[in-house]
Amino acid sequence: MNINIKITEYSSHKELSSKDQELVAIAISQLKTSHSPYSNFSVGASVRLENDVIWGGSNQENSSYPVGICAERVVLSIASTQSKGHAVNTMVVVYTDPKGNHDSPLAPCGMCRQAIREQTLRQKKAMKIILTTKHGKTLILNNADDLLPLSFTLDK
């Protein structure tokens, strides 16, 4: 078995379409809503749905650490509840680390990859994912499922 994953790299999100740049700007603006006093690692995420509605979210931590939730799952939950039934076409993820750095794109954690995968199974449509930084490098996967090959599902 071979698993091939296509990841397109850009030196800046300024090279993206205007719609994607708009979504990047919203993910960046979400960084200020991050509640991350424990890690000081802020993550912002945004999604554009098939009906062009945009939602944003950020990581929300808790003093009981495992209770915290990542930005990707926050924004997917918002989309799923506030825009029920509308497929997520594109997701953007950005971050700033505890030193305020954001040089290379964040790779979503395993739990978020599982959540993204399940969303694409529900919507039966691919979700583009844009992993970017405030000023720099951007990685794009046209199918976010590629982040989690051989994923777990209840249907075998």
Binding site for ligand THU (CB under 6 A): 36, 39, 41, 43, 59, 61, 68, 70-72, 108-109, 112
User: Which residue type sits at 39?
Assistant: S
Tell me the closest approach of the beta carbon of residue 134 to ligand THU, in angstroms: 16
**Matching residue, tokens 């997917």:** 76
Give the whole-angstrom CA distance, residue 134 versus residue 97.
Answer: 12
Q: Is 72 one of the annotated active-site residues of the chain?
A: yes
Coil, strand or helix: which one is 96? Answer: strand
Pairing between β-strand 138-141 and β-strand 88-96 as defined by DSSP bridges: unpaired
Reported as half-sphere exposure (CB side, CA atoms, 13 A), residue 50 has a value of 12
Nearer to ligand THU, 36 or 46 (CB): 36
* CA-wise closest residue to 30 among 40, 20, 18, 43: 43
Tell me the closest approach of the beta carbon of residue 61 to ligand THU, in angstroms: 5
Among candidate residues 9, 50, 72, 118, the one labeled active-site is 72
Tell me the closest approach of the beta carbon of residue 71 to ligand THU, in angstroms: 4
Tell me the closest approach of the beta carbon of residue 100 to ligand THU, in angstroms: 14
CA distances (Å), origin 64, targets 15, 27, 50, 60, 69:
40, 26, 36, 12, 11
User: Could you give the residue numbers annotated as active site?
Assistant: 72
